[in-house]
Amino acid sequence: MVSLSTPLSKIQGIQTRFITKLKKLGIETVRDLIFHFPVRYEDFSHVYKIEELTPGSEVTITATVESIKSRNTWKRGLFMVEADLIDETGVIRATWFNQPYIKNVLQPGRSANFAGKVVQSKNTGEMYLSNPTYELVSEHSDHETKHTARIVPVYSETRGLTSKGLRFLIQPVLKRLEEIPEIFPADILESDDIPEVNEALQSIHFPETTDEALRARRRFAFEDLFFLQLKNISERIKLAEKNANKINVNIESVKSLIESLPFELTTSQKKSLWEIIQDIERPHPMNRLLQGDVGSGKTVIAGLAAHEVASAGFQSAFMAPTEILARQHYHTFLKLFPGYEHGIALLTASESRISYGNALESITKKPALIKEIASGNVKIIIGTHALIQKNVSFKNLAFVIVDEQHRFGVRQRAVLEQNEKITPHFLSMSATPIPRTLSLTLFGDLDLSLITELPKNRKPIITRIVMPDERTMTHQFIRDEVKNGRQVFVICPRIEKPEESDNAAWQQLQVRSVKEEHEKLSTKIFPDLSVEMLHGKMPAKEKESIMRAFSENKINILIATSVIEVGVDIPNATIMMIEGSERFGLAQLHQFRGRVGRAEHQSYCLLFTDSSSVTTKTRLRSLVEAKNGFELAEKDLKIRGPGEFMGEAQTGMPDLAMKAIQNPDLVKHAREVAQQILETDRTLKKNPLIREHLAEFRKDVHWE
């Protein structure tokens, strides 16, 4: 017998070559293997006679090999095996390419099941089986089939490890697996028609019927959604039991502050600010997510709230994911609140600054600034991870703002909540537009505020799809913009061409890389302009240096990967040129577009594509037409589904659960069941298996 924790390397019979390939799929233990669920199924359950076959059908036949031969085809490098298969009703040919070993396995006289597609030759009209899966059988054998004569599971694969190989590994492991304890109480299984876990594992991998497979998939989707809801609800309950500083906000003072701003707040900005103020006036910690497009004015709202917290005598910490973004927020605050006397500070790994009132901003030594923070003299502190260093302590931290929340871990936040008696109010900000339904499910422990409009008097960004025959004209347009003093972003899907790819295949894929594009633009198209590149493999200091030079208009054109998605505000950049635009999701393209159009100049987003696909054009057109990021995110969600939209690696949520998030009834029901259990068993003492599983779930699932 084997357990879930047994390493696959310890199981006799699994060859080392399989172990290496399984690792590429993140599969190292029995648990990893049996929870690597099929992505779809092929129905080969009905066994046909040869005389019953029709072109285009996917079938299983039981037949004997009458003859078999191999030959090289006229196509260079292709090796073909052909066999005549016979049963009592007729003969059919089967063909395989580049699998020479088949001739040794399927010798004349051998009986086997053959499952595959029936193809009709265009030249002769003859029917044949194209590349069928085969499985040796014996008249006297009653062994269970894996690959034929059944509902056959199809898995996500990697080079050298096919679905057939995975079925070959999974079936014996399932048979040797010790019984897994069921986490759900019997009444939940019964009332919700949920199959027991051991039965469900058998059914999801080797179902007898399609309905059985669907029922098993529903069980595991429900299980993940249940734990997601349980995590969210239990964290809300825990937070409600904690104490926070009650901030007494002077509404008249807030109105006066808003009127003093050099611009008018939008309706959704005012609504979001009011929601935050109501939260921080309570004696329990706020836990809110502020979402809005790039440039929609989230920082202003966070700043106004921090200002009120400071006016009440408490400190606020504002964490940004990069030094350049922290510096940007610092200067934004100085502009928003000129003459602010309670102190605004910047603390990063390489910089420490402080400003009090109308006194000149001073660059101070880090120890001196850390001392000011600890004394409580400085009320608003903006920085990076430097804010959570061991030597940094706050006197009365009451408000924490985290920009681009998914880029920070739970650990970093916990460090800012060091005082166990008083928990700071917490505001996450994100420019990633996520559909409301998805947000409420994934971030159910957070209250949600949305900024849905761009600031007034902001010029809409003109978005164009650029086809290959329009490139030269578009390059001239870019040159003219640069000559007028403007700057350009160029985004590419990859940093460089993969080493293992051959040039012909790479050119056929038409994927443009940062390094290739930099070489082409800097030497052939814009040799007279300053062209630089930026990508994630560069050292942090080099990236910071390039972005600073770009922000100071010392670089005309910056070529980058998606590293620029969350970055510095460059008001002078008016063109966002995206190569291989069809290779990005709509929400990500919208993020790129939001990097321009930040000032009074007319800005443009140019979607370069070499694809003539109607689907590509339809997708890109929706970017041209969409009014805001949330509308676009809804479209992207429908096109790609939540697993692709959010990224399984970015959430830790299995693809099965991500797909299930689109089923509102299942989400709602999972929430109801989670609430019922917590109402009667707050600490889950009566349900130790659920408590144990929840702890594991918390480790695996994250929003980073």
What is the domain partition of the chain in residue ranges? 1-42+163-178, 46-149, 251-451, 462-627
Gyration radius of the chain's alpha carbons? 30
Q: How far is CA 12 from CA 6, 7, 100, 265, 361, in A?
A: 12, 11, 28, 67, 69
Q: How far is CA 580 from CA 465, 526, 591, in A?
A: 11, 20, 15
Q: Tell me if 451 sits within 8 A of 298, measured CB to CB.
A: yes
Say if strands 40-43 and 447-451 run parallel, antiparallel, or are unpaired. Answer: unpaired
Tell me which of 3.40.50.10210, 3.40.50.300, 3.40.640.10, 3.20.20.140 is the CATH number of domain 462-627.
3.40.50.300
Q: How far is CA 599 from CA 296, 337, 461, in A?
A: 13, 20, 11
Which strand ranges, in their side-by-side order, compose the sheet holding 487-491?
Answer: 462-466, 604-608, 573-578, 487-491, 557-560, 531-534
Stated as kind and residue range, the H or E segment containing 238 is helix 210-240
**Of 653, 694, 236, which is closest to residue 426 (Cα–Cα)?**
236
Q: In whole angstroms, what is the distance from residue 38 CA to residue 50 CA?
A: 29
According to CATH, what is the number of the domain 1-42+163-178?
A: 1.10.150
Reported for 480-485, long-range contacts at CB under 8 A and 24+ positions apart, including other chains, are 481/574, 481/575, 481/604, 482/526, 482/529, 482/556, 482/557, 485/553, 485/572
Q: In whole angstroms, what is the distance from residue 260 CA to residue 158 CA?
A: 59
Angle at 119 between CA 116 and CA 125, to 5 degrees: 150
According to CATH, what is the number of the domain 251-451?
A: 3.40.50.300
For the chain, the first-to-last Cα distance in angstroms comes to 37
Q: In whole angstroms, what is the distance from residue 704 CA to residue 701 CA?
A: 9
**Of 250, 239, 384, 383, which is closest to residue 309 (Cα–Cα)?**
250
Helix extents (H) in 364-470 = 366-375, 410-416, 436-442
Q: How far is CA 89 from CA 85, 93, 124, 553, in A?
A: 11, 14, 21, 79
Low-confidence residues in the chain, pLDDT < 70: 74-77, 138-143, 358-361, 405-420, 495-512, 563-568, 640-654, 702-704
Q: Tell me if 319 sits within 8 A of 408, measured CB to CB.
A: yes
Q: In whole angstroms, what is the distance from residue 147 CA to residue 160 CA?
A: 17
Q: Which residues pair with 128 in a beta bridge?
A: 93, 119
Q: What is the pTM of this model?
A: 0.75
Q: What pLDDT was estimated at residue 567? A: 54
On the question of a common fold for 1-42+163-178 and 46-149, the answer reads: no
What are φ and ψ of residue 662, in 5° steps? -80, -5
Task: Give the type of residue at 215.
Answer: R
Reported for 11-19, long-range contacts at CB under 8 A and 24+ positions apart, including other chains, are 11/173, 13/172, 14/169, 17/160, 18/161, 18/165, 18/169
Could you say which DSSP state residue 645 is in? I
According to CATH, what is the number of the domain 46-149?
A: 2.40.50.140
Residue that has been written with the tokens 């069928």 in this structure: 132
Length of the chain: 704
Q: What pLDDT was estimated at residue 361? A: 64
Q: How far is CA 698 from CA 268, 408, 469, in A?
A: 33, 15, 51
Q: What pLDDT was estimated at residue 509? A: 35
Q: Which residues pair with 425 in a beta bridge?
A: 399
Residue that has been written with the tokens 């005549």 in this structure: 84
150 token code pair: 């059944």
Q: In whole angstroms, what is the distance from residue 651 CA to residue 700 CA?
A: 8
